[in-house]
A and B are shown apart, each in its own frame.
Chain A
Amino acid sequence: MAIEMLYFAWVRERVGMGAERVDPPADIATVADLIGWLAGQSGGHAAAFEDAGRIRAAIDDRFVGLDAAIGGAREIALFPPVTGG
């Protein structure tokens, strides 16, 4: 199941890219599972995802909790808590 990943702010900087396509194994069921799996993909990913509590997520442009199921997701964005305004 290929997923388009988008990264923003320091997540993007640490991973070293703003977007990538990933194909996680079938037992990766939730956003939290995905973050844990991504952390093992490279040193940059590990630095970005070492503390999942600092990561927020959106699936197909909707904000979701880290316990959200990723089945059927086309695009998942991972980013720090927002700081606009």
Chain B
Amino acid sequence: MAAIDPVIDVRVQADDFDVGVELGRLEALGGGAVGSFTGIVRGGDGLIALVLEHHPVMTAKTLRQIAEEAAARWPLLGVTLIHRHGRLEPGARIVLVGTASPHRAAALEATMFLIDWLKTRAPFWKQECFADGGKTWVEARSADNAAAEKWGAAHG
């Protein structure tokens, strides 16, 4: 469907990222519309950190497949997916989804699609660490599954 070959940039890393720099790269693709979502560690209820575990071989591959699926559905010039792993404290950035397109609807819809699919398909697991020493693995949420399913099945 998409006639253009988008620039797909997928990174899985422990380090933080600079949202301004990343969106600037997407702006430079010349599309006129850049959409983005940044996920942040939410504090409260005594949470002192999240620890993100991942499947090192599968994560980058899965993120790339999700990015390619978005590029097959919308006319995108660029897709940036950055997901951090390791220990992250409240206020830390976890994930960045960025899209560039000639059209704002495509940029915004693709961003929504990417985070919905990423949450239910990318092999990451969050553990919550609390001030009292307690640790809990986050349970998958049916609301996340419903959000992902509304986009339908994979094209290929």
Residues of A within 8 A of B (CB): 6, 8-10, 12, 58, 61, 63, 77, 79-85
| B52 at the A interface (CB under 8 A) | yes
Q: Tell me whether A85 and B94 are in contact in the complex, defined as CB-CB below 8 angstroms, given that A61-B57, A77-B55, A79-B55 are known contacts.
A: yes
Per-residue contact bits, chain B 89-125, to A (CB 8 Å; 1 contact, 0 not): 0000011000000000000000000010011111111
Query: Is B140 a contact partner of A82 (Cβ separation < 8 A)?
Result: yes
Q: Least Cβ distance of B18 to chain A in Å?
A: 20
Number of cross-chain contacts by CB at 8 Å: 67
Query: Is B57 a contact partner of A83 (Cβ separation < 8 A)?
Result: no
Q: Tell me whether A58 and B94 are in contact in the complex, defined as CB-CB below 8 angstroms, given that A9-B137, A82-B125, A85-B119 are known contacts.
A: no
| B58 at the A interface (CB under 8 A) | yes
For B52, the chain A residues whose CB sits under 8 A away are 84
Interface range, B side: 20 to 34
A74 to B131, CA, bound (A): 41
For A63, the chain B residues whose CB sits under 8 A away are 121
| B15 at the A interface (CB under 8 A) | no
Q: Tell me whether A84 and B125 are in contact in the complex, defined as CB-CB below 8 angstroms, given that A9-B137, A10-B137, A61-B61 are known contacts.
A: yes
For A82, the chain B residues whose CB sits under 8 A away are 119-125, 140
